[in-house]
Amino acid sequence: MGRLGKRERRAQEKTAEEISKQKLVEFIRGTDVDDNAGVYVSEDTALKTSAVYACVKVIAESIASLPLHLVREDKGVKTRARDHPLFGVLHDLANEETTSLNFREAMLASLLLWGNAYARIECEKGHVTALWFLKPQRMEVVRDKHTGKIVYRYNTEDTGQAVEFGPREIFHVIGFSLDGLKGLSPIQYAKQTIGLTMATEEFGAKFFSNGARPGGVLESPGVVKDTDRLRAAWNAQFQGGKNAHKVAVLEEGVKYRAIGVPPEDAQFLETRKFQLSEICRIFRVPPHMIADLDRATFSNIEHQAIEFVQHTLRPWIVRFEQAVYKCLLSPGERHLYYARFNVDGLLRGDYASRMQGYAVGRQNGWLSANDIRELEDMNPIEGGDIYLVNGNMTPATDKTGGQVPPAAMEQPSPREPPKKNKKIKPIKEDDL
């Protein structure tokens, strides 16, 4: 089918025409802005909210920056399959124009916003040699009525025509789903929460753009002939942050009366803080990861970072790994190869904790010097592959080298019989 053109791999935002069409569709369905705190909520507009942007960015960057390896397992021995063409696609370059980090970052951002991530597979001699990112908002996943197989229909940006792909031609990572066919968009299912957040940000921006003053009315005892001119002259002189604290001179009995609700009465700051927690709840991100340190302490922040890896990143990591197994490996390769993210770097403690853990592994014989040096990103040394055991920990064997029976090990050591006390002779008078 050939390439879809370089425009398919450029900026990820929708055009103004696409947003207008989406608004029209939602207006016809009755799900327009009236239900979302009076603002239009979509995946693109939601990303302009600082909390949504921060949550998506911290998850996407954290996972995209992890090393992703293709591993070969043969008879229990695991090695990195550097000679496989897919290894370089996952670890180094997704295609000739995109690095692996940028590609995975775009895929995860799509997954977090739209609930799905798509890429076109490019093969050569039966192996995947490149992956090209596709915009999720242009993809439609359907099931063929005649064959019952899944069909991917992608609307090209150049012509607007739909191009169909088979399941083996698309790399599809599915988010949280109810049917296993297509993921659900967190933004669409949390429109009310995100809409309220966007409304409070818009309110604050307009409030400060108006010089941090609420709206008001100009009262005149007489009839004002040209109200538009008077309003324009007032706004030109006193509206906006640069005109704040100017002194107004009112003529002909004109009075200014402020109206509107002050931010403290509307609980503006409290609402913004609560909405920040709501956005974090949607993406399951600890608040301290997006610079909300109100409830963070030195005693719990390290454990929250570990929980971030275990409960936030791990489900997305497993989804990506299993999608690689399903879409990018042939049936004959699946029993030998699998993809694996290395999350050890995110779970590393401080220097003292790491050294203490290495010492335990070294003394108990399940870590060698080179194993520890590899974990610390250091070169191996000669003789560093020897596994040592503490001298006090010796196997329970008898003198002939055989295993000591358990019954013999449980018997207490024999004790010497107590000595009998000598009888003491009574003292007679003749002895004195």
At 287 the pLDDT is 87
Identify the pLDDT of residue 395. 58
Helix (H) or strand (E) holding 118: strand 116-124
pLDDT of 97 > 90? The answer is yes
Tens digit of pLDDT for each residue in 372-388?
888 887 888 998 888 88
- Contact predicate 187/43, CB 8 Å: yes
**Domain residue spans of the chain:** 1-212+261-347, 215-259, 351-401
Bridge partners (DSSP) listed for residue 397: 403
> What DSSP assignment string belongs to 57-98?
HHHHHHHHTS-EEEEEEETTEEEE-TTSHHHHHHHTBSSSS-
- Contact status, residue 244 vs residue 250, Cβ threshold 8 Å: no
171-226 tens-digit pLDDT: 999 999 999 899 999 999 988 888 888 887 777 777 666 655 556 776 777 776 77
21 alpha-carbon distance from chain centroid: 30
**Helices and strands (H, E) in the chain, number of each type:** 14, 11
The span from the CA of 174 to the CA of 141, in Å, is: 11
Q: How far apart are CA 63 and CA 102, in angstroms?
A: 11
What pLDDT does residue 29 have? 46
Structure tokens at 382: 């000669």
Match 């064997």 to its residue by tokens: 397
What is the pLDDT at residue 293? Answer: 74
Residue 152: its H or E element: strand 150-155
Residue 325 has pLDDT above 70, yes or no: yes
Helix (H) or strand (E) holding 219: strand 216-219
Rounded to a whole number, what is the largest CA-CA distance in the chain? 150
With beta carbons less than 8 A apart as the criterion, state whether 249 and 261 touch: no
User: What is the C-alpha separation between 117 and 110, in angstroms, rounded?
Assistant: 5
pLDDT number for residue 10: 47
Greatest mean pLDDT among 201-205, 210-214, 272-276, 280-284 lies in: 280-284
Supply the DSSP symbol for 342. -
Coil/strand/helix, residue 49: coil
pLDDT of 266 reads 54
Q: What is the mean pLDDT of residues 239-256?
A: 64
Predicted confidence band of residue 273 (pLDDT cuts 50, 70, 90): confident
Determine phi and psi for 89, rounding to 5 degrees: -65, -40
Whether the full predicted model's pTM is greater than 0.85, yes or no, is no
**DSSP element (H, E) containing 171:** strand 170-174
Instruction: List all residues 6 or more positions away from 55 whose beta carbon is below 8 Å from its beta carbon.
Output: 112, 279, 280, 282, 283, 285, 290
Q: Is 28's pLDDT higher than 50?
A: no
Higher pLDDT, 418 or 311: 311
Q: Residue 238: what pLDDT?
A: 64
Structure-token pair, residue 235: 């706004």
Name the pLDDT band for 9 (thresholds 50, 70, 90).
very low
Q: What residue ranges in 349-395 does DSSP mark as E strands?
A: none
Cα Rg of the chain (Å, integer)? 35
CB atoms within 10 A of CB 266: 14
DSSP 8-state class, residue 277: H
How far, in whole angstroms, is CA 13 from its chain's centroid? 20
Lowest mean pLDDT across 48-52, 112-116, 241-245, 333-337: 241-245
Q: Provide the 8-state DSSP code for 341.
A: E
Confidence (pLDDT) at 291: 77
